[in-house]
Structure 1
Amino acid sequence: MDKNTIIGFVLIAAVLIGFSLWNQPSKEELARQQQTEQLEKKAQAEAQQKKIENEARKTATLQAAMADTSALFHTALNGTEQKVTLRNGKLQLELTSKGAIVEKAVIKGFQDRNNRPDVTLFSGQNQRLSYTLASKDGFTNTADLYFTPSEQTDSTVTFTATAAAGKQLVLKYRLGKDYLLHATLSATGMDGILNPNTNTVDINWQERCAQQEKGFTFENRYATLTYHKTTGGTDYLSETSEKIDEPTEEKTDWVAFKNQFFSAVIIAKNDFQSGALLTSIPQEKGSGYLKHYQAKLKTFFDPTGRQPTELDFYYGPNDFRLLQQVERQSHFGKDLELQRLVYLGWPLFRIINRWFTLYVFDWLTGLNINMGIVLILITLLLKLITYPLVKKSYMSSAKMRVLKPKLDAATREFDKPEDQMKKQQAMMSEYAKYGVSPLSGCLPMLIQMPIWIAMFNFVPNAIQLRGQSFLWISDLSTYDPIIEWNTNLWLLGDHLSLTCILFCVANVLYSMMTMRQQRDQMVGQQAEQMKMMQWMMYFMPVMFFFMFNDYSSGLNFYYFISLFFSAAIMWMLRKTTNDEKLLAILEAHYQEAKDNPQKLKGLAARLQAMQKQQQEMQRQREQLGKK
C-alpha cells in the first residue's frame, strides 16, 4: 500500500468520523427525544390500563350472562369444549368448539427444523380468530361461545351456537383436496336480535408466527404480513421494524401471516374493507417465534341470514406453482395472485425470475436430480446465454491491452495535471484509429448484474431447496456452519458458514483477476488510480462475508459456482487470445480506415468526429488568443 492509498483511507475515515460527530444530536434535541419517549411510554401505559379495564368489564358482563338463564347465548356461554379433526393427504386441522375455529394446522410431507415429520404451522393459543357481531343491545363475540359440532366427516363439520329458541349462529367448514379450507358464517332466525343497520362483521385474527427453519435471522427477513389489494398487486408490513395498527388504504382480497416457506391466509369473498388495521411485531431470537401478527378486518355480513359470509383459509407451503393451482380451487373466482407470496424481487428481477428462472427450475427439478446439481446446471445455462456478451467484453479489454504501448507513446507528452483533457483526447483519437470502443468493455458485463440480483431473490424463496442436502451441505435453504457457538457476536452472529467463506474467497480471487486485466490496459495516472480501486474491490468481499454469513447455503453456493465459472471463462479466453494476431488485425483496420475514412462506423466514427471537432475548437481558441 503506497503513500497515496494510505492518505486516501485516512481522509475517508476522517470524513466518516466528522460526519458522525456532526450528526450527533444537540442537548436540546436529546431533551426533546427524552420527552417524546416519556410521552410514548405514558400513552402505552394508559392504553394498557384501558385494555385491562375493558377486559374486566367484559369478564363481568360474561359472568352475569352466564348466571342469567334468560340471557342471550346463555347455553353457548356455559358449554363444553369439544375437538374436531379434518384431514386429507396434505393437511390436518384440529378445530375447537370454543369459538368454532381452527386451533392447530399440521402441513404434511415437510419435515420441521428438528427433522420431525410434518410441520406444525400453529397450535393452541398461537393463533386466535374471532368474529364480532353487532346486536341491538351490544356486541356478540364468537370467541366467548361454545358451539355444538354436527354433520362431521373427515372434510366437513358444522358448528352451531344457540342464542335462544330458533335463533342460532352457524359456522360451516369444508376442507378441499389440498390446503384450502372453505368457511361460511350465517345467522338463523336472529332478525330481532342482530342490528339490522349493520351489515358487516368484525374479524380479529392473531398469530404468533413460529420459527420453522434453523436460521432465525435469515428466516425473519422473509416473514412478513402480506396483503392483496382488490385493484391488484400486494403490499406488506416491514420485516424488521415494529408496526402496530397500520391501516390499509384500499379494499383487500386476502391477508397472509407469512414466514419464509409457509403461510396462513384468510380470503374474503366480498373483500375486506379499507381501513383494516394490521400489526407486525418482531420477536426476540431464541423465543421460538418470528413475529406477532394481528389483523383487524371487516367484511360483509347479512343479519337476516339470507346470505352467508364466505371465507377461504389457506394453510400451506409458499410454492409458486402450487399457489397458482390453489387459486383455481378457490370458491370466489377472483384474481387473487396468491403466488405473490413467493417474492421474486422488484419488477425487472421479477420478470427475469417469473418468465425464465422459474421455467428452467421447473424443468430441471422435473428430472429428479439433486438440487445442488440443479443450481450448477442453472449457473451453466446462464453462463452459456451470457457468454457472447462476456466474450465481447473480454475482447474489447484485450484490444485495449495490446494497444497500451501505442497509447503510452501517444500520451507521453501529456503527463502534467493541466494536460489531462489533451491526454483523454489523444487516447480517444487512438481508439478511433483502431476501431476500439472503450465502453464495450464494461457495458455488456452490466447485463449480468440483473441475473445475479434476480437469483438473490429467487433462491431464498425456493421451497424446493428446503431440507435438500448436497455434498457437505445438510440443508440448502439455510446456512451450513463449520463451527457454531452460543454467543451472538456483533456482525458475525453465532456461526461460520462454509459456503459463505468459499464465496468470499472466490470473490477476492476473481477480483484479483479482473483488476489485473484492467491494470494491463491502463495508461499513465490511470494505473496509479487503479491501486486505490483495487483495495476497495478487495474490501467488498469482506463486507459480503458479514452480510451473507446468515444467508442460505444454496445462495452462497450459487454465487461461488458462478464466480468459479466466470474465472474459468476468463482464463480460457486469455489462453486462446493471441495478442500478436489481435494487434495485427487492429493494424490492418487502422490502415484500411486510413486509406478509406468513409469505412469508419459506429463509435469509432463518432470518436473521430469528436476529435476533429475538439481540434477545430482548440485551433479557434488559439487564434482568438493571438488577436
Structure 2
Amino acid sequence: MDKNTIVGLFLIAAVLIGFSWYNTNQKRNLQHPQAEQTSLPAAKQYSQQSHNSVKKIATDSTDIFFAATKGEAKDITLQNAKIRVKVSTKGGSVESVELKEYKSYQDFEAQKDKPLLLYSSKDANLNFLLDTKENTMDFSNYYFEPVNVTDSTVTMRLTAQDGATIDIDYKLLKDNYLLNFDVKSQGMQKHLPSSLNSIQLAWHDRVSQHEKGFYFENMYSTLTYKKHDDDTKKLSENETEEESVTESVDWIAFKNQYFSSVLMAADPMQKVNVKSQQLEENSGYLKNYSADMAASFDASGAKTTKFQFYFGPNNYRLLQSMDNFKVSEFDNDLQDLVYLGWPIVKWINRFFTLYVFDFLTKLGLPMGVVLLLITLLIRVIVYVPTRKSFLSSAKMRVLKPKVDAIAAKYPKQEDAMKRQQETMSLYSQYGVSPMGGCLPMLIQMPVLVAMFNFVPNAIELRQKSFLWADDLSTYDSIISWNTNIWGLGNHLSLFCLLFCATNLLYSIMTMKQQRETMSGEQAQQMKMMQWMMMLMPLFFFFMFNKYSSGLNYFYFISLLLGALTMWYLRKTTDDKKLLAKLEANYQANKNNPNKKPSGLAARLEALQKQQEEMLKRQQEIQQRRQH
C-alpha cells in the first residue's frame, strides 16, 4: 500500500472527524433570552412563547362562546393497534399520544411493559387562534363538547349563543400512526371579518429524552420542515435557533432520534415561524420546539380546513408509505425525516444499504448478524479493487532496489526532477501505476460515510441486543461511573475500544507495507503522515465512545476484515513470480520502440523539458548581457 492509500485513509478520517464535529458540537446558548425560561412550567412557557402578540378575547358575557368558558376537562380516548390518542375537551386539542409497540429505554432496562409516551399536555400543546370582528379567539379558553364518539373518531364542538358552531373532527386511521383532523365552522359569517381567510396555529413541545444517552439522541433530534415544492430543511441540532420561513410549508416535524410528531396540512401553511431551543443534559428533555403558522380557513364554512398528524417511528419505509393516506394533493415525502447523508452518500443508502438491510431484516436474523453480513458484502464488493491496489503496492515493493539505484544515481536535491522522472519512467516501462492504491479508498470512503449516516438512523437496531450490548442503537458500557469526564463521558464502550484497537492494527500493517515500497527520502517525508495514522485511533476513541454500539461494531468488523484481507493478500503473493512478470513487461516494452511514457511519467517528462527550455533561455539571456 503506497502513500496514495495513506492519503486516502487520512481523507476518510478527516471527513468522519469533520462530520462528527459538525453534528456533535454541543454548544449551549444560555445567553438567549428564552434560556432563562427553561425551568418554568411548560404551559407558562408556551403561553409566553406563542401568545406574546395575541390579543385574547375577554371571556365574559359579551363572548359569543361564553357558556363554553366554564366546564370540566375530560379526555376522549381514540386507539388502534399502533397508538392510543387522548383528546381533551379543554381546547379541543390532543392531550397525549402513546405508542403501543415501543417503550423508552428506561422502561426497557427496567423490563416494564409500558408504552412510550411520545406526546403529553404536560409538555406539549397545539392551539388554534381565530380572528373575529372584535378580537382573537383562543381555543384553549373553551371547553368543547364531544359528539359522534367512537373508538377512532370524535368531534369536538363549540356552540355559540346564536347556534353557530366550530367543529374539530378527529379520525384515527386503522392500524396506522396517522390522526386526521378537520376544522370547520357553521353560521360564523356574521362574527368573522369578510376578509378572513386563515386560522392561526401555535404548536409547542418540550421533547423528552427516550434513549440511553443524551449526547447521541440529541445529536439526531431536530425541528424539521418541508417547503412546498422544495427540499426539507432543519434547524440546528446543537444550538438554539429560530427562523421565519418566507415560503409556504407542507409540514413541520418535532423530531427526536427515532420518533416524530409531524403536523401536515392539506393546503401549504403560511407565515411559519419555527424555533428550537437546547435544553440541559439530565433534565429528562432534549429540546424545546415551537412553531407558529397560518392555515387556510373558509369563513363561510363551505370548505373544511384539513390537517393530519403523524405520531410514530422514524422508519424510512413506513414514512414513505404515509403518502398513501395523504389529505393533500401533493406528496409529503416524510421519509426525508430519516437523514441518509449528503447527495452521493444518500444514493448509496437509498438504493443499496436500505434494500440489503430490509432483505436481511426480513429473514429474522439478529441485528448484529445483519450488520456483519452487510460488512461482508461490502468487503466482497471492494475486494477486486483492493486486490488491484495491493498488487500495485507489491509491484512497487519488488522494484524498490531499482528505485534505490536511481536515487543513488541522483543524490543531489537539484536533481530531484530528473530522479522523479526516471523513477516514473521505470514504473511505466515495467507496467506499474503508482496511483493504483487510490481506487479502493475512493470506493470505500463514500460507503463508510454512508454507514456513518445509516446506522444511527436505523430504528430497527433500537433495543436490539447483541453479545454484551443490550441496545445496538446506543453505547455499550463495560465500565461506567457517576462523574462526566470531558471528552469521554461517564463510561467506556467495549465496541469502541475494539474498533480503535483494530484501527491501530490496520494502521501498523498499512505503514509496514508502505515502508516496503519507499526509498529512504520518501520514508522521511511520510513520517508526519505515519504519526497521524498512529494517533487516529486515539482521536476516534474520544469521538466514538458516546456513539452507538452498532456503529462501532460495524467499523470494528470492517477494519478487522480489511486487516485480514491485507494479511491474506500478503501471504498469497509470490514476489519472485511478480518480479518475473514485471521483467517480461519490461522486455516487451523495450522491444517496442514506439512505446512512449504515459500518465504521470509523461507529465513529468513534459515538465522537465519545459524546465530545461526555461533554463536554456535564461542562459542565453545572461550571455547576451555579458556581451
In the superposition, the TM-score normalised over structure 1's length comes to 0.88
Q: Secondary structure at the match of 2:238?
A: coil
Match of 1:271 in 2: 268
- The code of the aligned residue for 1:137 comes to E
- Aligned residue among 232, 242, 249 for 1:234: 232
Give 1:455's aligned amino acid: M
Matches within 5 A, 1:249-264: 249-264=246-261
The partner residue of 1:595 within 585, 591, 599 is 591
Q: What's 2:20 paired with?
A: none
Find the counterpart in structure 1 of residue 165 from structure 2: 168
The answer on whether the counterparts of 2:418 and 2:608 sit within 8 Å (CA) in structure 1 is no
Whether 2:185 is the aligned partner of 1:187: answer yes
TM-fit CA distance, 1:324: 1.4
Which of 442, 457, 464 is residue 461 of structure 1 equivalent to? 457
Local SS of the residue matching 1:572: helix
Q: Give the Cα–Cα distance (whole angstroms) in 2 for the partners of residues 590 and 323 of structure 1.
A: 60
Return the match for 1:535 from 531, 536, 555. Answer: 531
Q: Select 1:98's aligned residue among 86, 90, 93.
A: 90
The alpha-carbon distance between structure 1 residues 356 and 94, as it changes in their structure 2 partners (threshold 3 A), is: same
| Counterpart code for 2:206 | R
Change beyond 3 A, Cα 1:610–1:222:
closer
Aligned-pair distance for 1:189? 0.6
Partner deviation per Cα, 1:33-65 (whole Å, 9 max, x = no partner): xxxx99x869999xx99x879989999x76x63
- Equivalent residues of 2:65, 2:161 under 8 A apart: yes
Sort the Cα spacing of 1:122 and 1:594 in 2 relative to 1 into closer, same or farther, 3 A. same
User: Structure 1 pair 529/301, CA: closer, same or farther in 2 (3 Å)?
Assistant: same
Q: Tell me, yes or no, if structure 1 residue 332 matches structure 2 residue 328.
A: yes
Matches of 2:36 and 2:366, distance apart in 1: 52
Q: 2:382 is paired with a residue of what secondary structure?
A: helix
1:605 maps to which residue? 598
Q: Which residue of 1 aligns with 2:136?
A: 139
Count residues with an aligned counterpart: 578
Q: Is the 8 A contact 2:50 2:292 kept in 1?
A: no
Question: Does 1 or 2 have the higher relative contact order (CA < 8 Å, sep 6+)?
Answer: 2
- 5+ residue gaps, structure 1: 1-36
Equivalent residue runs for 1:265-304 within 5 Å = 265-273=262-270, 275-304=271-300
Match of 2:10 in 1: none
Give the aligned residue type for 2:235.
Answer: L
CA distance in 1, matches of 2:33, 2:290: 21
Equivalent residue letter for 1:249: T
Contact 1:389–1:445, Cα closer than 8 Å, also in 2? no
Query: Does the Cα contact within 8 Å between 2:91 and 2:139 map onto a contact in 1?
Result: yes
Question: Partner letter of residue 223 of structure 2?
Answer: L
Q: Structure 1 CA distance, aligned partners of 2:90 and 2:303?
A: 24
Q: Following TM superposition, by how much is the alpha carbon of 1:619 offset from its aligned partner in structure 2, in angstroms?
A: 5.8
**Residue number in structure 1 paired with 2:59:** 65
Do the aligned partners of 1:133 and 1:139 also contact (CA within 8 Å) in 2?
Answer: yes
C-alpha distance after superposition, 1:377-409 (max 9, x if no partner): 000001111111101111100101111011000
In the other structure, the counterpart of 2:194 is 196
Are 1:375 and 2:367 an aligned pair?
no
**1:613 & 1:220 partners in 2: Cα distance?**
55
Distance 2:49 2:407 in 1: 84
Q: Using the alignment, how far apart are the partners of 1:251 and 1:311 within structure 2?
A: 15
Cα 1:470–1:242 shift into 2, 3 Å: same
Deviation at 1:422, TM superposition (A): 2.2
**Structure 1 residue 613, shift from structure 2 partner:** 4.0
Matched to 1:351, the amino acid is W
Distance in 2, Cα, partners of 1:552 & 1:425: 49
Instruction: Measure the CA separation in 2 of the matches of 1:216 and 1:622.
Output: 65
The question of whether the paired residues in 2 share the 8 Å contact of 1:411 and 1:426 is answered with no
Task: For 1:187, give the aligned amino acid.
Answer: S
**Is this contact kept in 2: 1:264–1:316, CA < 8 A?**
yes
For 1:34-183, list aligned pairs within 5 A: 65-66=59-60, 68=61, 70-114=62-106, 115=108, 116-117=112-113, 118-177=115-174, 178-183=176-181
CA distance in 1, matches of 2:415, 2:325: 72
2: CA distance, partners of 1:279 / 1:519 = 54
Which position in structure 2 is the counterpart of 1:575? 571
2:510 and 2:388 mapped to 1: Cα distance?
A: 15
Distance 1:173 1:427, change over 3 A: same
Distance 1:216 1:381, change over 3 A: same
Does structure 1 residue 308 correspond to structure 2 residue 310?
A: no
8 Å CA contact retained: 1:519, 1:530:
no
- Distance in 2 (CA, whole Å) between partners of 1:80 and 1:58 is 25
CA apart distance, 1:598: 3.7
Match of 1:384 in 2: 380
Q: What residue identity is the alignment partner of 2:116?
A: V
Quote how far apart the aligned CAs of 1:269 are: 0.4
CA distance in 1, matches of 2:579, 2:391: 12
Which residue of 2 is the match for residue 504 of structure 1?
500
State the shift of 1:201 in Å: 0.6
Range with greater deviation from structure 2 (339-348 or 406-415): 406-415
- CA contact 2:177–2:310 (8 Å) conserved in 1: yes
| Residues 1:584 and 2:584 aligned together | no
Q: Distance in 2 between matches of 1:518 and 1:390?
A: 15
How far did 1:455 drift? 0.3
CA distance 1:458–1:53, shift in 2 (3 Å) = closer
Deviation at 1:608, TM superposition (A): 5.0
Matched to 2:164, the amino acid is: K
Superposed CA deviations along residues 124-176 of structure 1, whole A, max 9, x for unmatched, are: 32110111001000010111110000111110001101122211111000000
Give, in whole Å, the separation in 2 of the partners of 1:606 and 1:314.
57
Identical residues among aligned pairs (%): 48
CA shift, 1:588, in A, is 0.6
Post-superposition offset of 1:622: 6.8
**How far does residue 450 in structure 1 lie from its aligned partner after superposition?**
0.2
Contact 2:417 2:608 in 1 (8 A): no
Quote the Cα distance in structure 2 between the aligned partners of 1:532 and 1:233.
43
Contact 2:130 2:199 (8 Å CA) reproduced: yes
Task: Report the CA distance between 1:440 and its aligned residue.
Answer: 1.1
1:222 is aligned to: 220
Establish whether residue 416 from structure 1 lines up as the match of residue 447 from structure 2: no
Q: What secondary structure, in the 3-state scheme, does the structure 1 residue paired with 2:390 have?
A: helix
Give the partner amino acid of 1:393. S
Cα distance between partner residues in 2 of 1:57 and 1:258:
27
